């Protein structure tokens, strides 16, 4: 479901970017809430000439028939089926976590070896960010799916000098 970005935007885009290194590129999910956030972050960045690049592989997992529904509206048996096989169950008829992981990891692998000085902002959703963490850090997806990640929070991965490193996770703006 492609929801619009809620307004007013909180945290403020200027607060989100305050502690981030200046990017050479900005990539975003095609979903409106991420693409609009990327655009607003760049508007808050002084003297930039960047345009967000839309990357379809950064979209949130597709929850099929569950899209737009509150968790308490979904039959308990369907939720239990997902909980029993978090990676490959698909009671909603959409995309499995394993399928989404393959999509997101494919994008991450397409980056190749980044220069240690290069900075790339990836504006996406909690699911794909957890998948990127699993891919880059060599952790099971089942582990990173449990990591908290707040709205507007940032994560910093260092990719360019050997083994990827996590500098921070779930850093709140402001």
Segments making up each domain of the chain, as ranges: 13-61+95-171
- What is the Cα–Cα distance from 121 to 40, expressed in whole angstroms? 13
The average pLDDT across 10-23 equals 93
> 84: Cβ–Cβ under 8 A, 6 or more apart, which residues?
none
Tokens of 40: 């607003």
pLDDT band at residue 3 under the 50/70/90 scheme: confident
What class is the 13-61+95-171 domain?
Answer: alpha beta
Confidence (pTM): 0.92
On average, the pLDDT of the chain sits at 93
Given this model, what pLDDT does residue 67 score?
Answer: 94
Report residue 109 as tokens: 């692998």
pLDDT of residue 146: 93
Phi/psi at 129 (nearest 5 deg)? Answer: -65, -40
pLDDT above 90 for 114: no
In DSSP notation, 37-101 reads HHHHHHHTSTT----PEE-GGGSPPP-GGGTT--GGGS-HHHHHHHHHTTTT--TTSS--HHHHH
With H, G, I as helix, E, B as strand and everything else as coil, classify residue 36. helix
- Average pLDDT for residues 81-104, to the nearest whole number? 96
Q: Which residues contact 75 (CB under 8 A, 6 or more apart)?
A: none
128 near 105, Cβ under 8 Å?
A: no
Q: Is the pLDDT of residue 51 over 80?
A: yes
Decide: residue 75, CB within 10 A, 0-12 exposed, 13-18 middle, 19+ buried. Answer: exposed
Higher pLDDT, 83 or 162: 83
């Amino acid at each position: 479901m492609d929801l619009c970005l809620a307004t007013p935007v909180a945290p403020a885009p200027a607060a989100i970017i305050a502690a981030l290194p200046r990017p050479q590129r900005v990539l975003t999910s095609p979903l409106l809430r991420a693409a609009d956030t990327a655009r607003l972050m760049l508007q808050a960045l002084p003297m930039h000439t960047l345009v967000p690049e839309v990357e379809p592989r950064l979209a949130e997992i597709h929850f099929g028939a569950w899209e737009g529904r509150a968790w308490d509206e979904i039959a308990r048996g369907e939720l239990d089926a997902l909980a029993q096989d978090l990676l490959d169950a698909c009671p909603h008829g959409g995309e499995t976590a394993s399928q989404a992981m393959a999509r997101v990891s494919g994008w991450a692998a397409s980056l190749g070896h980044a220069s240690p000085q290069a900075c790339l902002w990836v504006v996406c959703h909690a699911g794909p960010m957890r998948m990127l963490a699993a891919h880059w850090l060599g952790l099971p997806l089942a582990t990173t799916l449990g990591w908290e990640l707040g709205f507007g929070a940032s994560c910093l991965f260092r990719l360019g000098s050997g083994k990827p490193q996590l500098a921070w996770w779930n850093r709140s703006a402001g």
